[in-house]
């Protein structure tokens, strides 16, 4: 089981998590916690997105390293995070990862944005 964390690049994603109907477009991030049942349906002509699938243990380690304290698997600030700056940072980090950029820089960028998303 892993988290599903991503941003829509174009179009609109209508999706359901458990019993909640949600909508995500550009400038927003979606979060699905491990074990949450979900589905997605494109609105109109479809959508494109960038996703990562981190394991709970990885995110737990990130929080522990940032705080210096033991932590449980983190919870995020909702299934949809409406923050264009955080979404843009996530997309830049994802694009750098995909382009094969220097690994330490990519790790730092993803770690920073994930910490800003965690509740």
Quick: pLDDT tens for 35-62: 888 877 777 787 888 999 999 999 999 9
How far is residue 24's CA from residue 49's CA, in Å, rounded to a whole number?
Answer: 10
Q: How far is CA 40 from CA 8, 56, 66, 98, in A?
A: 12, 22, 33, 23
Phi, psi of 23 (to 5 degrees): -140, 135
Q: pLDDT value at position 25? A: 84
Average per-residue pLDDT for the chain = 89
Q: What is the pTM of this model?
A: 0.87
Superfamily per CATH, domain 4-117: Regulatory protein AraC (2.60.120.280)
Of all residues in the chain, the percent with pLDDT exceeding 70 is 99
């Amino acid at each position: 089981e892993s988290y599903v964390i991503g941003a829509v690049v174009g179009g609109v994603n209508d999706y359901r998590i458990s019993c909640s109907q949600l909508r995500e477009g550009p400038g927003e991030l979606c979060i699905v916690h491990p074990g949450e049942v979900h589905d997605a349906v494109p609105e109109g002509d479809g959508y494109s997105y960038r996703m990562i699938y981190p394991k709970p243990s990885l995110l737990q380690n990130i929080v522990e390293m940032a705080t210096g304290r033991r932590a449980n698997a983190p919870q995020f600030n909702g299934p949809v995070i409406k923050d264009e700056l955080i979404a843009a940072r996530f997309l830049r980090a994802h694009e750098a990862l995909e382009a094969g950029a220097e690994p330490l820089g990519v790790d730092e960028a993803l770690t920073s944005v994930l910490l800003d998303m965690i509740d």
